């Protein structure tokens, strides 16, 4: 039987979330028994809106270390291009120590060009960002696992120690859907996280991952949107609420069809359980459910009740 501890919530504060709502949702996740809570690391709303509340990622993670007791938590994902990787490693080790060993460090290559340019960061081609990511990942892995890095690369030069050392180790997660970074995840990470996708798309990426894995043991997790309701009326109500909050157009039925086409877990509790079981049978060991409407606490509570049926 699968425990609810193998599941978590994923928050998107860049889409509009107050500090109060952030902590309320984190405490709710802990009370309901979820094992994980992740949040995005974005500097602008990723849906084109501007001027909405958005807590800076690593500041909020430091606060979360004191505001929770059992949740494993972290960014999903921190782009290497936002912070020097040596500094990022030191930040991660500090938050890990402050939380009693509960941080999970998830990193990626970045993708949302407007937030880079708006904050003075260069946004090079994917090939260049991939090159930066390879170096950054090597530095972060060395500093969090070995306590130091001696690295002279094209993009980064680091000769530094990383203390305090993370007690019991610090899990390193790589988020990726591009084949080169999926291969890196297989070779370096403790966990590969992928965005929700149709079963056939996931199967193709997993083949790439498996070929690069060798004898290593690396967990596979999925992050993505979800919708669960006791009946069709509940589902439509949640869909309308999401569309209203995010300024989305169209009908509730159209939103649910788009989510279904992407491979999202959705439906009544029995349908939802079947969808989650299919994902786990395909090789996903953990799922982090993207909460786009944190005010919809009844759906979060129903999600927890439904997952306990697995």
User: Residue 204's pLDDT is what?
Assistant: 97
Number of Cβ within 10 Å of residue 217's Cβ equals 6
Residue 1 has pLDDT above 70, yes or no: no
How confident is the model over 259-278, as a mean pLDDT?
96
Q: Which helix (H) or strand (E) holds 194?
A: strand 191-195
**Domain 4-307 belongs to what topology?**
TIM Barrel (3.20.20)
Residue 166 has pLDDT above 80, yes or no: no
Residue 52 has pLDDT above 70, yes or no: yes
How confident is the model over 47-60, as a mean pLDDT?
90
Alpha helices in the chain, H assignment, sequence order: 19-32, 57-67, 85-98, 113-118, 126-146, 179-188, 199-213, 232-246, 252-262, 269-281, 297-307
Query: What's the residue count for the chain?
Result: 310
DSSP 78: E
**Half-sphere exposure for 73 (CA within 13 Å, toward CB):** 32
Which residue has 């279904």 as its token pair? 260
Domain boundaries, the chain: 4-307
User: Residue 113's pLDDT is what?
Assistant: 96
* 3-state secondary structure at position 218: coil
Total-model pTM: 0.96
Averaged pLDDT score across all residues of the chain: 95
Sign of torsion over alpha carbons 75, 80, 82, 86? positive
How confident is the model over 8-18, as a mean pLDDT?
96
Residue 242 has pLDDT above 70, yes or no: yes
Question: Dihedral (C-alpha) 39, 44, 47, 52: value to the nearest 10 degrees?
Answer: 90
How confident is the model over 255-269, as a mean pLDDT?
96
Rg (CA), the chain: 19
* Token pair listed for 64: 């979360």
């Amino acid at each position: 039987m699968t425990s609810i501890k193998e599941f978590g919530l994923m928050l998107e504060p860049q889409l509009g979330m107050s500090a109060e709502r952030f902590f309320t949702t984190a405490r709710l996740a802990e009370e309901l028994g979820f094992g994980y809570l992740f949040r995005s690391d974005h500097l602008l709303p990723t849906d084109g809106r501007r001027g909405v509340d958005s807590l800076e990622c690593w500041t909020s993670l430091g606060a979360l270390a004191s505001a929770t007791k059992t949740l494993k938590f972290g960014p999903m994902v921190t782009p290497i291009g936002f912070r020097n990787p040596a500094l990022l490693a030191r930040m991660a080790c500090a938050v890990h120590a402050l939380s009693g060993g509960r941080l999970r460090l998830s990193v990626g290559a970045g993708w949302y060009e407007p937030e880079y340019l708006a904050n003075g960061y260069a946004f090079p081609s994917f090939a260049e960002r991939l090159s930066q990511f390879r170096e950054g990942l090597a530095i972060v892995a060395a500093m969090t696992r070995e306590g130091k890095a001696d690295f002279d690369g094209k993009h980064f030069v680091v000769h530094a120690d990383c203390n305090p050392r993370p007690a019991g180790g610090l899990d390193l997660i790589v988020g990726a859907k591009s084949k080169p970074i999926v291969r890196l995840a297989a070779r370096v990470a403790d966990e590969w996280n992928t965005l929700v996708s149709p079963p056939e798309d996931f199967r193709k990426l997993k083949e790439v991952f498996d070929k690069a894995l060798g004898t290593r043991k690396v967990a596979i997790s999925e992050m993505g949107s979800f919708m669960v309701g006791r009946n069709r009326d509940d589902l439509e109500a949640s869909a309308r609420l999401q569309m209203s909050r995010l300024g989305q157009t169209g009908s509730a039925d159209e939103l649910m069809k788009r989510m279904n086409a992407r491979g999202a877990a959705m439906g009544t509790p029995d349908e939802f359980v079947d969808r989650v079981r299919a994902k786990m049978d395909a090789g996903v060991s953990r799922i982090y459910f993207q909460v786009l409407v944190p005010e919809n606490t009844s759906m979060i509570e129903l999600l927890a009740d439904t997952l306990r049926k697995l």
